[in-house]
Structure 1
Amino acid sequence: MWWVLAMSAAAHLLFVACVQALPSGNGSEGNLPAKNADGYTDITVEQLASMLEDKDFALINVHIPYEGEIRETDRFIPFDEIADHLDELPDKDSRIVLYCRSGPMSTTAAKELASLGYTNVYELDGGMIAWSAAGYELLMR
Protein backbone atom coordinates (compact mmCIF):
# COMPACT_ATOMS: atom_id res chain seq x y z
CA MET A 1 0.00 0.00 0.00
CA TRP A 2 2.83 2.42 0.83
CA TRP A 3 4.22 1.81 -2.66
CA VAL A 4 0.95 2.99 -4.29
CA LEU A 5 0.95 6.14 -2.15
CA ALA A 6 4.61 6.84 -2.97
CA MET A 7 3.99 6.39 -6.72
CA SER A 8 0.90 8.62 -6.57
CA ALA A 9 2.86 11.33 -4.78
CA ALA A 10 5.73 11.06 -7.28
CA ALA A 11 3.33 11.27 -10.24
CA HIS A 12 1.66 14.33 -8.74
CA LEU A 13 5.00 16.08 -8.19
CA LEU A 14 6.08 15.29 -11.76
CA PHE A 15 2.81 16.66 -13.13
CA VAL A 16 3.13 19.88 -11.12
CA ALA A 17 6.74 20.33 -12.24
CA CYS A 18 5.79 19.85 -15.90
CA VAL A 19 2.89 22.29 -15.71
CA GLN A 20 5.09 24.92 -14.05
CA ALA A 21 7.71 24.48 -16.78
CA LEU A 22 5.26 25.33 -19.57
CA PRO A 23 5.68 28.78 -21.13
CA SER A 24 3.15 31.14 -19.62
CA GLY A 25 2.99 33.71 -22.41
CA ASN A 26 1.47 37.11 -21.86
CA GLY A 27 -2.06 35.85 -21.58
CA SER A 28 -3.48 36.60 -25.00
CA GLU A 29 -0.87 34.96 -27.23
CA GLY A 30 -1.18 31.33 -26.20
CA ASN A 31 2.24 29.86 -25.59
CA LEU A 32 4.28 32.85 -26.75
CA PRO A 33 6.62 34.41 -24.20
CA ALA A 34 5.97 37.78 -22.61
CA LYS A 35 7.42 41.03 -23.94
CA ASN A 36 11.00 41.78 -23.03
CA ALA A 37 12.22 45.00 -21.41
CA ASP A 38 12.44 46.67 -24.83
CA GLY A 39 8.70 46.19 -25.45
CA TYR A 40 8.71 43.44 -28.05
CA THR A 41 8.59 39.64 -27.91
CA ASP A 42 11.35 37.28 -29.03
CA ILE A 43 9.99 34.14 -30.69
CA THR A 44 11.63 30.90 -31.75
CA VAL A 45 11.65 29.29 -35.16
CA GLU A 46 9.18 26.69 -33.90
CA GLN A 47 6.82 29.38 -32.63
CA LEU A 48 6.93 31.20 -35.98
CA ALA A 49 6.31 27.96 -37.88
CA SER A 50 3.26 27.34 -35.70
CA MET A 51 2.04 30.92 -36.18
CA LEU A 52 2.32 30.52 -39.97
CA GLU A 53 -0.17 27.63 -39.88
CA ASP A 54 -2.94 30.15 -39.11
CA LYS A 55 -1.34 33.43 -40.16
CA ASP A 56 -2.91 36.53 -38.63
CA PHE A 57 0.06 38.90 -38.64
CA ALA A 58 2.30 40.91 -40.93
CA LEU A 59 5.62 39.15 -41.62
CA ILE A 60 8.37 41.62 -42.48
CA ASN A 61 11.91 40.93 -43.67
CA VAL A 62 14.12 43.82 -42.53
CA HIS A 63 17.45 42.42 -43.70
CA ILE A 64 19.60 44.36 -46.13
CA PRO A 65 20.82 43.37 -48.62
CA TYR A 66 18.33 40.72 -49.70
CA GLU A 67 19.54 37.23 -48.72
CA GLY A 68 16.35 35.22 -48.98
CA GLU A 69 12.97 35.11 -47.30
CA ILE A 70 10.60 33.02 -45.24
CA ARG A 71 7.42 31.92 -47.00
CA GLU A 72 4.43 34.26 -46.63
CA THR A 73 6.62 37.33 -46.11
CA ASP A 74 4.40 40.38 -46.62
CA ARG A 75 6.92 43.20 -46.86
CA PHE A 76 10.60 43.99 -47.26
CA ILE A 77 11.56 47.10 -45.30
CA PRO A 78 15.21 47.91 -44.45
CA PHE A 79 15.74 47.74 -40.70
CA ASP A 80 17.22 51.22 -40.53
CA GLU A 81 14.29 52.73 -42.46
CA ILE A 82 11.42 51.10 -40.54
CA ALA A 83 10.28 54.44 -39.05
CA ASP A 84 10.09 55.91 -42.57
CA HIS A 85 7.69 53.17 -43.73
CA LEU A 86 5.02 53.20 -41.02
CA ASP A 87 2.40 53.75 -43.72
CA GLU A 88 3.20 50.23 -44.99
CA LEU A 89 2.54 48.64 -41.59
CA PRO A 90 -0.78 47.64 -40.06
CA ASP A 91 -2.11 49.62 -37.09
CA LYS A 92 -0.12 49.81 -33.87
CA ASP A 93 -2.10 47.03 -32.15
CA SER A 94 -1.79 44.49 -34.98
CA ARG A 95 0.67 41.62 -34.77
CA ILE A 96 3.92 42.27 -36.63
CA VAL A 97 6.74 39.71 -36.89
CA LEU A 98 10.16 40.97 -37.94
CA TYR A 99 13.14 38.94 -39.08
CA CYS A 100 16.54 39.37 -40.69
CA ARG A 101 19.44 37.05 -41.48
CA SER A 102 20.68 36.44 -37.94
CA GLY A 103 18.94 38.80 -35.51
CA PRO A 104 20.63 42.19 -35.00
CA MET A 105 18.77 44.06 -37.74
CA SER A 106 15.35 42.77 -36.69
CA THR A 107 16.19 43.53 -33.05
CA THR A 108 16.94 47.14 -34.00
CA ALA A 109 13.69 47.40 -35.98
CA ALA A 110 11.65 45.76 -33.19
CA LYS A 111 13.01 48.21 -30.61
CA GLU A 112 12.19 51.10 -32.93
CA LEU A 113 8.59 49.98 -33.49
CA ALA A 114 8.04 49.36 -29.78
CA SER A 115 9.38 52.84 -29.00
CA LEU A 116 6.89 54.27 -31.51
CA GLY A 117 3.97 52.66 -29.69
CA TYR A 118 3.52 49.38 -31.58
CA THR A 119 2.20 46.92 -29.01
CA ASN A 120 2.34 43.51 -30.74
CA VAL A 121 5.86 43.34 -32.18
CA TYR A 122 7.63 39.98 -32.42
CA GLU A 123 11.22 39.30 -33.46
CA LEU A 124 12.47 35.96 -34.80
CA ASP A 125 15.36 34.87 -32.60
CA GLY A 126 18.26 33.81 -34.83
CA GLY A 127 16.60 35.00 -38.03
CA MET A 128 16.86 33.18 -41.35
CA ILE A 129 19.97 31.32 -40.21
CA ALA A 130 18.03 29.68 -37.37
CA TRP A 131 15.03 29.10 -39.66
CA SER A 132 17.18 27.27 -42.20
CA ALA A 133 19.16 25.37 -39.53
CA ALA A 134 15.87 24.02 -38.16
CA GLY A 135 15.12 22.53 -41.57
CA TYR A 136 12.66 25.13 -42.86
CA GLU A 137 12.92 26.39 -46.41
CA LEU A 138 14.24 29.80 -47.37
CA LEU A 139 12.92 31.19 -50.63
CA MET A 140 15.08 33.13 -53.09
CA ARG A 141 13.78 35.60 -55.65
Structure 2
Amino acid sequence: MLDEPTVGLDVESRRALWQEVRARTAKGRTVVFATHYLTEADDYADRVVLLAGGKIVADGPVNTIKSLVGGTEVRFVLDRADVNGLETLPGVRQVRIEGRAVALRTGDSDATLRALFATFDDVREVRTMSTDLESAVLSLTGGGG
Protein backbone atom coordinates (compact mmCIF):
# COMPACT_ATOMS: atom_id res chain seq x y z
CA MET A 1 0.00 0.00 0.00
CA LEU A 2 1.46 3.33 -1.10
CA ASP A 3 -0.10 6.68 -0.26
CA GLU A 4 1.03 9.48 -2.60
CA PRO A 5 4.29 7.59 -3.23
CA THR A 6 6.05 10.17 -5.40
CA VAL A 7 5.35 13.34 -3.45
CA GLY A 8 8.65 15.11 -2.92
CA LEU A 9 10.71 12.72 -5.04
CA ASP A 10 13.17 13.97 -7.61
CA VAL A 11 13.00 12.66 -11.19
CA GLU A 12 15.53 9.84 -10.70
CA SER A 13 13.91 8.64 -7.49
CA ARG A 14 10.45 8.71 -9.10
CA ARG A 15 11.68 6.59 -12.01
CA ALA A 16 13.38 4.15 -9.66
CA LEU A 17 10.20 3.80 -7.61
CA TRP A 18 8.05 3.02 -10.67
CA GLN A 19 10.65 0.56 -11.99
CA GLU A 20 10.51 -1.27 -8.67
CA VAL A 21 6.70 -1.26 -8.70
CA ARG A 22 6.65 -2.68 -12.23
CA ALA A 23 9.21 -5.33 -11.31
CA ARG A 24 7.07 -6.48 -8.39
CA THR A 25 3.80 -6.50 -10.32
CA ALA A 26 5.52 -8.45 -13.13
CA LYS A 27 6.11 -11.18 -10.53
CA GLY A 28 2.40 -11.33 -9.76
CA ARG A 29 2.30 -9.01 -6.77
CA THR A 30 -0.35 -6.38 -6.27
CA VAL A 31 0.54 -2.78 -5.47
CA VAL A 32 -2.18 -0.41 -4.33
CA PHE A 33 -1.45 3.29 -4.47
CA ALA A 34 -3.46 6.43 -3.82
CA THR A 35 -2.51 9.50 -5.78
CA HIS A 36 -3.66 12.88 -6.95
CA TYR A 37 -1.07 12.75 -9.77
CA LEU A 38 -3.43 11.46 -12.42
CA THR A 39 -0.74 11.28 -15.07
CA GLU A 40 1.05 8.70 -12.94
CA ALA A 41 -2.15 6.75 -12.40
CA ASP A 42 -2.76 6.88 -16.17
CA ASP A 43 0.77 5.61 -16.84
CA TYR A 44 1.15 2.96 -14.11
CA ALA A 45 -2.22 1.72 -12.86
CA ASP A 46 -3.89 -1.39 -14.24
CA ARG A 47 -7.09 -0.58 -12.41
CA VAL A 48 -8.57 2.67 -11.08
CA VAL A 49 -11.18 3.11 -8.37
CA LEU A 50 -12.52 6.65 -8.58
CA LEU A 51 -14.13 8.12 -5.47
CA ALA A 52 -16.30 11.24 -5.38
CA GLY A 53 -18.37 12.37 -2.44
CA GLY A 54 -17.37 9.26 -0.52
CA LYS A 55 -18.82 6.93 -3.19
CA ILE A 56 -17.29 4.87 -5.96
CA VAL A 57 -18.22 6.51 -9.28
CA ALA A 58 -16.03 4.35 -11.51
CA ASP A 59 -14.01 1.16 -11.13
CA GLY A 60 -12.04 -0.66 -13.77
CA PRO A 61 -9.03 -0.65 -16.05
CA VAL A 62 -7.68 2.80 -16.95
CA ASN A 63 -8.88 2.53 -20.55
CA THR A 64 -12.36 1.59 -19.37
CA ILE A 65 -12.51 4.64 -17.10
CA LYS A 66 -11.39 6.86 -19.98
CA SER A 67 -13.91 5.26 -22.35
CA LEU A 68 -16.75 6.23 -20.00
CA VAL A 69 -16.10 9.79 -21.15
CA GLY A 70 -14.97 8.64 -24.53
CA GLY A 71 -13.90 10.23 -27.70
CA THR A 72 -11.35 12.83 -28.54
CA GLU A 73 -11.02 16.44 -27.52
CA VAL A 74 -10.58 18.91 -30.36
CA ARG A 75 -9.22 22.27 -29.23
CA PHE A 76 -8.90 25.38 -31.34
CA VAL A 77 -9.26 29.16 -31.44
CA LEU A 78 -12.32 30.74 -33.02
CA ASP A 79 -13.09 34.45 -32.81
CA ARG A 80 -16.88 34.19 -32.94
CA ALA A 81 -17.56 30.87 -31.25
CA ASP A 82 -21.24 29.96 -31.07
CA VAL A 83 -22.27 27.03 -28.88
CA ASN A 84 -25.34 26.26 -30.99
CA GLY A 85 -23.36 26.12 -34.23
CA LEU A 86 -20.65 23.96 -32.69
CA GLU A 87 -23.07 21.52 -31.04
CA THR A 88 -24.52 20.62 -34.44
CA LEU A 89 -21.18 19.45 -35.88
CA PRO A 90 -21.05 15.68 -36.48
CA GLY A 91 -19.85 13.64 -33.52
CA VAL A 92 -19.83 16.51 -31.01
CA ARG A 93 -20.91 15.46 -27.52
CA GLN A 94 -19.83 18.49 -25.47
CA VAL A 95 -18.78 22.09 -26.15
CA ARG A 96 -16.71 24.33 -23.86
CA ILE A 97 -15.93 27.91 -24.78
CA GLU A 98 -13.60 30.16 -22.80
CA GLY A 99 -13.18 33.43 -24.64
CA ARG A 100 -11.85 32.51 -28.07
CA ALA A 101 -10.62 29.07 -26.93
CA VAL A 102 -12.95 26.22 -27.80
CA ALA A 103 -12.85 22.56 -26.73
CA LEU A 104 -15.13 19.98 -28.33
CA ARG A 105 -15.53 16.45 -26.98
CA THR A 106 -16.32 14.29 -30.01
CA GLY A 107 -16.94 10.66 -30.80
CA ASP A 108 -15.77 11.10 -34.40
CA SER A 109 -12.92 13.58 -34.61
CA ASP A 110 -12.45 13.13 -38.36
CA ALA A 111 -16.07 14.05 -39.16
CA THR A 112 -16.00 16.86 -36.61
CA LEU A 113 -12.84 18.38 -38.10
CA ARG A 114 -14.10 18.14 -41.71
CA ALA A 115 -17.33 19.92 -40.77
CA LEU A 116 -15.51 22.45 -38.56
CA PHE A 117 -13.27 23.59 -41.42
CA ALA A 118 -16.17 23.58 -43.89
CA THR A 119 -18.33 25.70 -41.57
CA PHE A 120 -15.86 28.18 -40.05
CA ASP A 121 -13.18 29.91 -42.11
CA ASP A 122 -11.32 31.47 -39.16
CA VAL A 123 -10.50 28.31 -37.17
CA ARG A 124 -6.85 28.20 -36.11
CA GLU A 125 -4.42 26.54 -33.69
CA VAL A 126 -6.21 23.19 -33.94
CA ARG A 127 -5.07 20.24 -31.81
CA THR A 128 -6.61 16.92 -30.99
CA MET A 129 -6.03 14.90 -27.84
CA SER A 130 -7.22 11.52 -26.70
CA THR A 131 -9.07 11.47 -23.43
CA ASP A 132 -6.61 11.34 -20.56
CA LEU A 133 -7.39 10.16 -17.06
CA GLU A 134 -7.55 13.70 -15.71
CA SER A 135 -10.25 14.67 -18.24
CA ALA A 136 -12.18 11.52 -17.43
CA VAL A 137 -11.99 12.17 -13.68
CA LEU A 138 -13.19 15.75 -14.11
CA SER A 139 -16.05 14.65 -16.32
CA LEU A 140 -17.11 11.75 -14.06
CA THR A 141 -16.99 13.82 -10.88
CA GLY A 142 -18.60 16.91 -12.39
CA GLY A 143 -15.30 18.79 -12.14
CA GLY A 144 -15.83 19.32 -8.43
CA GLY A 145 -13.01 19.86 -5.99
TM-score calculated relative to the size of structure 1: 0.24
Higher relative contact order (CA 8 A, sep 6+): 1
